[in-house]
Copies of this chain bind each other. A is one copy, B any other.
Amino acid sequence: MSRQTLAEGLDFSGGDYGIVAVVAVIALAALVIGWFLLKEVLAAGQGTAKMQDIAKAVQEGAAAYLKRQRNTLSIFGVVVFLLLLALPADDWNERIGRSVFFLVGAVFSFLIGYTGMWLATRANLRVAAASREPGGREKAMRAAFRTGGAVGMFTVGLGLFGAAVVVLAYTGQAPKVLEGFGFGAALIAMFMRVGGGIFTKAADVGADLVGKVEQNIPEDDPRNAATIADNVGDNVGDCAGMAADLFESYAVTLVAALILGSTAFGVHGLLFPLIVPAIGVVTAVIGVYITRARSGENGLVTINRSFYISAAISAVLCAVASFVYLPGSFADFGAAHAGVAGNPAVIAFVAVIIGIVLAGVILRLTGYYTGTEHGPVRNVGETSRTGAATVILSGISVGFESAVYTALVIGAAVFGAYLLGGTVALFAVALAGTGLLTTVGVIVAMDTFGPVSDNAQGIAEMSGEVDEDAAQILTELDAVGNTTKAITKGIAIATAVLAATALFGSYQDSIAKAVADIGESAAGVKSFVDTIVSPNTLVGVIVGAAVVFLFSGLAVNAVSRAAGAVVYEVRRQFRDIPGIMEGTTRPEYGKVVDIVTRDSLRELATPGLLAVFAPIAVGFGLGTGALAGYLAGAIATGTLMAIFLANSGGAWDNAKKLVEDGHHGGKGSEAHAATVIGDTVGDPFKDTAGPAINPLIKVMNLVSVLIAPAIVQFSIGPDASAGVRIAISLVAVAIIVAAIVVSKRRASVMTDTPSEDATPAKTA
């Protein structure tokens, strides 16, 4: 019996509905708590008028960007909504539900991102103001962390609420509808990660190249026309993009578990994956409220303690839930499960623990490779004495090495859950994913910490109204934020692998069910299945790996192009507007914000189209076997590439901080210049290409799951038509090629810019 038919036959009792309702209530409670945290943050003092002025400019820039992004993405959303309606489904209820919840997932994803940005652009001001008050360190840290807490609560609340509603409304058909929900969340998150990532790094790199390198003025100097854009970028990239991304990680992991749950554990399997993250909501609240800075203690230690405490409580509560809610034998799940060996309660408990432990291990591993106090970053700092080339090489080595170990740890978690699960191996992998989810609330809080502190520092610097002590507090918080950001990326990519492995299984199921539905002769089915494992599969693996490289290259390139436009504009302003350098005239900040907004929205299309259409091209063109290979290649290479990019970037950033703290010659030395080069190279690595790979993997997986029945339909049985398949594949290829050609053409426009603009202003 295939998974879907089992699921459709599910019988929900009143008690079952009750459990889902409780979960929904917990989810709503999370939203309410988030609201209270938000109120608390907003109630704090807002500093001087000058500080408020600056914050206002950042708020407006960020809101304007997200508004335009919303318009752009709406078009995408509507097109995909219609395409989804056209894909095969069991009945119209499922078909419409899938499309509608696609929109719900997409809107939620955007909403979380928007809220994260909205709050962060207000919290930055309050954090900067708090640093000036007595007891400023504790107050500033509390405000920054509670901002993150609010966003974290919204993330888990909306994710859990959405999933619970789908389960309540669709019961047996929930898995199919959830595919739409997860897809919507992942698609929008990917666009927000890519667009925001391009924005933040184009502004950052552009500002640095003219400000720090050419004009020799400090970071966040108000004379630099790109400073407001730089601060806007922190919010639309690191806040909005990150929040949407973590929401998507949450939603897709949950979806993967729910899709597999009913086959494995019957009704219990559809409810247990909701119970585990509901526990996570409770412990996240605890984690956020117990986080208090102790004087003399590194901020990272404080945050890590909260993480470990809440993870430990989650583990205990999950153990209770497993043994109370789940029976000790599969026979208790009903006739369909009779004869399956193993103890469901033990399997579920250990799987969830694997997920929680995995989060802890990644936290430590990432901290080790990107923290200033450990060997790797100190080693990168050391190499700054022999110049930029050795800094780059050592950072790349750190990235490679940490990627390998992190990937192996994730692989071990998958393998462990798989061994444990026996006949329900895939569900065990998905449950490990839900274990990881219990930590997401705290993780979001940790991550939002970074950009809020960074921005607070920016406001302080630009206003010039924060004294040295307060500035020191903000610098410390910023450094802590650097490491928490890297940790979040590690956790996010771990959810990607666990979810993808589970979805990989549901892709195979989807094919098996479609084949069964067509009712082809046994011989026809066999010859179809034979095509699944073939050299084609290997070609698929190569193409999957290639798409990850292409996506990364496109993202890095987009940053370079957009940063180039910023450089020209800032140079132009220095040259054409008299009095900027003397500080008597304000530069036109808005112009730079406009340019970056326009460019990032234009640049996000190509990688986005690649993610959606590449699986379509491979699946229809080379077959289901090649598409499976494609997914495997993309997951494996994507995992390594994402961690490599995130950690090498993080190591370079902190190596620079190390030198700025006075090692190897300190600020202004040649060693410092070498680490600045490393940091600039790392910027698009860690904040554009790297984090976008996480939603990329999930988008490609979900597209594959969704199109699998259609591929089968055109491959065997009455509708079989190689012509149709090839036509669809060619259209997909044409779309990708056209997108790449268009972005290439933009590149040559940039190179053709009149040479006067290409010359630094100081030589003009």
Which residues of A does B touch, CB under 8 Å?
A: 205, 209, 213, 379, 382-383, 385-390, 392-394, 396-397, 400-401, 403-404, 407-408, 410-411, 414-415, 418, 425-426, 429, 497, 501, 504-505, 533-539, 541-547, 549-550, 552-553, 556-557, 559-560, 564, 567, 622, 629, 632-633, 635-637, 639-640, 644, 676-677, 680-681, 684, 747, 751, 758
Contact B209 A538 (CB under 8 A): no
| Residues in B neighbouring A397, C-beta threshold 8 A | 553, 556-557, 560
The residue in chain B whose Cβ has the minimal distance to the Cβ of A385 is B758
The residue in chain B whose Cβ has the minimal distance to the Cβ of A383 is B560
| Residues in B neighbouring A681, C-beta threshold 8 A | 389, 392-393, 396
Measured CA separation A240–B633 after assembly (Å)? 34
Contact A640 B546 (CB under 8 A): yes
Contact B542 A636 (CB under 8 A): yes
Q: Provide 26 A-B residue pairs closer than 8 Å at the C-beta atoms, listed in order of the A residue.
A: A209-B386, A213-B386, A379-B751, A389-B681, A390-B560, A393-B559, A393-B680, A397-B553, A400-B549, A400-B550, A401-B553, A404-B546, A404-B549, A407-B545, A408-B543, A411-B539, A414-B542, A429-B535, A533-B533, A542-B639, A545-B636, A545-B639, A549-B644, A636-B637, A637-B640, A677-B677
Contact A535 B636 (CB under 8 A): no
Minimum Cβ distance to chain B for residue A9 (Å)? 25
Contact A545 B542 (CB under 8 A): no
Contact B213 A387 (CB under 8 A): yes
| Residues in B neighbouring A538, C-beta threshold 8 A | 414, 501, 504, 632, 635-636
| Residues in B neighbouring A751, C-beta threshold 8 A | 379, 382
| Residues in B neighbouring A408, C-beta threshold 8 A | 542-543, 546
| Residues in B neighbouring A541, C-beta threshold 8 A | 541, 632-633, 635-636
Contact B392 A545 (CB under 8 A): no
The residue in chain B whose Cβ has the minimal distance to the Cβ of A740 is B401
| Residues in B neighbouring A622, C-beta threshold 8 A | 415
Contact B393 A392 (CB under 8 A): no
Q: Which of B404, B414, B533 contacts A539 (CB 8 A)?
A: B414
The residue in chain B whose Cβ has the minimal distance to the Cβ of A387 is B213
Q: A393-B681, A415-B535, A415-B539 are in contact. List 8 more A-B contacts (CB 8 A).
A: A389-B676, A396-B556, A397-B560, A400-B549, A407-B543, A407-B545, A414-B539, A418-B535
Contact B393 A535 (CB under 8 A): no
Contact B534 A404 (CB under 8 A): no
Q: Of A534, A636, A644, which is in contact with the most chain B CB atoms at under 10 Å from its CB?
A: A636
Measured CA separation A414–B537 after assembly (Å)? 11
| Residues in B neighbouring A407, C-beta threshold 8 A | 542-543, 545-546, 549
Q: Which of B392, B429, B535 contacts A426 (CB 8 A)?
A: B535
Q: Of A400, A633, A639, A640, which is in contact with the most chain B CB atoms at under 10 Å from its CB?
A: A400
The residue in chain B whose Cβ has the minimal distance to the Cβ of A429 is B535
Q: Which of B379, B393, B546 contacts A684 (CB 8 A)?
A: B393
Copies of this chain held together in the complex: 2
Q: Of A410, A429, A539, A557, which is in contact with the most chain B CB atoms at under 10 Å from its CB?
A: A539
Closest 7 CB pairs of A and B: A400-B553, A389-B680, A545-B636, A541-B636, A404-B550, A542-B636, A541-B632
Minimum Cβ distance to chain B for residue A521 (Å)? 20
The residue in chain B whose Cβ has the minimal distance to the Cβ of A497 is B542
Q: Which of B382, B543, B758 contacts A411 (CB 8 A)?
A: B543
Contact B758 A403 (CB under 8 A): no
Contact B386 A388 (CB under 8 A): no
Minimum Cβ distance to chain B for residue A633 (Å)? 5
Given A213-B387, A504-B535, A560-B383, A640:B545 Cβ within 8 A: yes
Given A414-B538, A542-B410, A560-B394, A386:B501 Cβ within 8 A: no
Minimum Cβ distance to chain B for residue A207 (Å)? 13
Measured CA separation A393–B543 after assembly (Å)? 23
| Residues in B neighbouring A533, C-beta threshold 8 A | 533
Given A387-B209, A401-B553, A534:B418 Cβ within 8 A: yes
Minimum Cβ distance to chain B for residue A427 (Å)? 11
Measured CA separation A543–B213 after assembly (Å)? 41
Measured CA separation A181–B28 after assembly (Å)? 67
Contact B400 A552 (CB under 8 A): yes
Minimum Cβ distance to chain B for residue A362 (Å)? 15
Minimum Cβ distance to chain B for residue A557 (Å)? 5
| Residues in B neighbouring A556, C-beta threshold 8 A | 393, 396-397, 400
Measured CA separation A383–B546 after assembly (Å)? 25
| Residues in B neighbouring A553, C-beta threshold 8 A | 396-397, 400-401, 404
| Residues in B neighbouring A547, C-beta threshold 8 A | 404
Given A429-B535, A557-B397, A633-B636, A388:B388 Cβ within 8 A: yes
Q: Which of B389, B400, B550, B633 contacts A632 (CB 8 A)?
A: B633
Measured CA separation A644–B385 after assembly (Å)? 28
Measured CA separation A676–B564 after assembly (Å)? 22
Contact A392 B392 (CB under 8 A): yes
Measured CA separation A42–B550 after assembly (Å)? 47
Measured CA separation A536–B640 after assembly (Å)? 18
Minimum Cβ distance to chain B for residue A370 (Å)? 16
| Residues in B neighbouring A414, C-beta threshold 8 A | 535, 538-539, 542
Minimum Cβ distance to chain B for residue A386 (Å)? 6
Measured CA separation A415–B403 after assembly (Å)? 31
The residue in chain B whose Cβ has the minimal distance to the Cβ of A419 is B536
Measured CA separation A560–B393 after assembly (Å)? 8
| Residues in B neighbouring A534, C-beta threshold 8 A | 418, 425
Given A415-B536, A415-B622, A550:B401 Cβ within 8 A: yes
| Residues in B neighbouring A213, C-beta threshold 8 A | 386-387
Minimum Cβ distance to chain B for residue A739 (Å)? 14
Q: Which of B497, B535, B559 contacts A425 (CB 8 A)?
A: B535
Measured CA separation A740–B480 after assembly (Å)? 31
Minimum Cβ distance to chain B for residue A93 (Å)? 32
| Residues in B neighbouring A410, C-beta threshold 8 A | 542
| Residues in B neighbouring A632, C-beta threshold 8 A | 537-538, 541, 629, 632-633
Measured CA separation A410–B396 after assembly (Å)? 27
Measured CA separation A720–B205 after assembly (Å)? 59
